[in-house]
Structure 1
Amino acid sequence: MSNVTTVYQVTGMSCGHCEGAVTEEISGIEGVLSVEAAADTGTVTVTSASPLDEGAVRAAVDEAGYELAGRL
């Protein structure tokens, strides 16, 4: 089975610290292989071994202090 890449829209990120906080929280979700957050576009690209539960991603983004606006 191949890896799954999903792009999420996250509101509130404005700097490298924001990117780091979101990356750290999403990286803690089981099955996540890599996370690339981009404050300039408000996107987070997540590669995982299998499709992620959006509720888990939303909870991780909330924990970092930001809001998951949805998938792109």
Structure 2
Amino acid sequence: ILRGLRQAAKTRPIVIYLHPWELDPGTPRLPLPARDRFITYHNLGAPMRRRLEILLDAFSFQPMARLLADLTGSMPVVRG
């Protein structure tokens, strides 16, 4: 995944989104079928925090508002 993100980041900004609950091991558990329960909950807490740390070490980040300002500032204004 990191290799793919690095390749994509060479030509364009990338957006990474994490649901806040993915970092909380205390997230309330819903009564889900076994397969869905595994998919939803198996990486909560420490595993997800570790993945986030890897991403923070590997890439530089900025607020979305700054990225949008940079992108729109470099685009021509079209008036109709």
Structure with greater helix share of residues: 2
Higher relative contact order (CA 8 A, sep 6+): 1
Structure with greater strand share of residues: 1
TM range (shorter): under 0.3
TM-score (norm 2): 0.25
